[in-house]
Amino acid sequence: MACDGGCRYDYEDYQEAADWLLAHTDQRPRIAIVCGSGLGPLGNTLEDQTVFPYQDIPHFPKSTVAGHAGRLVFGTLRGKSCVCMQGRYHFYEGHSSSTVVFPIRVFSLLGVESLIVTNAAGGLNEKYNVGDLMLIKDHINLPGLAGEHPLRGTNDERFGVRFPCVSDAYDKDLHDLALECAQELGYKDFIREGVYCMVGGPSYETIAECCLLRALGADAVGMSTVAEVIAARHCGLRVFGISLITNKVVTSYESQEKVNHEEVLQTSLLRAQALQDVVSQLVGKVA
pLDDT of residue 251: 81
The radius of gyration of the chain from alpha carbons, rounded to an integer in Å, stands at 18
Q: Please list the active-site residues.
A: 37, 68, 90, 92-93, 120, 223-224, 247, 261
pLDDT of residue 65: 66
Q: How far apart are CA 79 and CA 71, in angstroms?
A: 22
> Under a CB-based contact definition with an 8 Å cutoff, are residues 148 and 276 in contact?
no
Residue type, 202: P
Q: How far apart are CA 157 and CA 150, in angstroms?
A: 15
Q: How far apart are CA 234 and CA 228, in angstroms?
A: 10
pLDDT of residue 5: 43
Residue 116: name the closest of 215, 231, 33, 47 by CA.
Answer: 33
CATH number for the domain that contains residue 33: 3.40.50.1580
Residue type, 247: N
A 10 A CB-CB count for 221 gives 25
Domain that holds residue 71: 2-285
Q: How far apart are CA 107 and CA 232, in angstroms?
A: 9
pLDDT of residue 36: 84
Q: How far apart are CA 221 and CA 139, in angstroms?
A: 10
Write the pLDDT tens digit of every residue in 57-73.
999 987 666 655 789 99
Structurally, how many domains does the chain consist of?
Answer: 1
pLDDT profile of the chain (287 residues), mean per 10: 58 97 96 86 89 95 70 95 93 89 97 96 95 97 93 95 96 97 95 97 93 97 97 98 92 75 72 90 92
Instruction: Give the global pTM.
Output: 0.93
